[in-house]
Amino acid sequence: MNVKEYLSQAMWLDRIINNKLQQLDSLKCLAQKVTASYSLDKVSSSKSRSPMENSIVKIIDLEHEIDEDIDNLVELKRKISKDIGSLDNMSYRLLLEMRYIGGQSWEDVASNIGYDVRTVFRIHGKALKEIEKIKMCQ
């Protein structure tokens, strides 16, 4: 994995979490539409779940998945922040933090720093080389 892929992991995991949160909202909406069956004629001894119970189990499982992903994201951002924080050049640090920790677009990074996008890309390339040197020494 190259340095850019390493730094981008947090952005991708954040997007995955957001997608799962949308799925969770969708499941909750569907669960509200599920009706319970109150048939007294059922004599089966199998322990099959009702549609409502199935929906709730799926929601709980997805919530646990999201919790694990959030824990992983927090740890990953901590590690990436530590690596970025080891840079001496403050503009490199700011740019990398805005992009890879804050998840900002290149246009937003350029606007917030006060550079044009091409300059941001040039600084980004230099910053990646510095991070690569640091990672090789570890």
Q: How is the chain classified by DSSP, letter by letter?
A: --HHHHHHHHHHHHHHHHHHHHHHHHHHHHHHH------S-----S-PPPHHHHHHHHHHHHHHHHHHHHHHHHHHHHHHHHHHHT-S-HHHHHHHIIIIIS---HHHHHHHHT--HHHHHHHHHHHHHHHHHHHHH-
Q: What is the pLDDT of residues 105-130, one digit of tens each?
A: 999 999 999 999 999 999 999 999 99
Domain residue spans of the chain:
3-34+52-137
Q: Tens of pLDDT along 89-100? A: 999 999 999 999
Give this prediction's pTM.
0.77
pLDDT tens sequence across 28-78? 888 787 565 555 555 555 566 677 788 888 899 999 999 999 999 999 999
Per-residue pLDDT, 48: 66
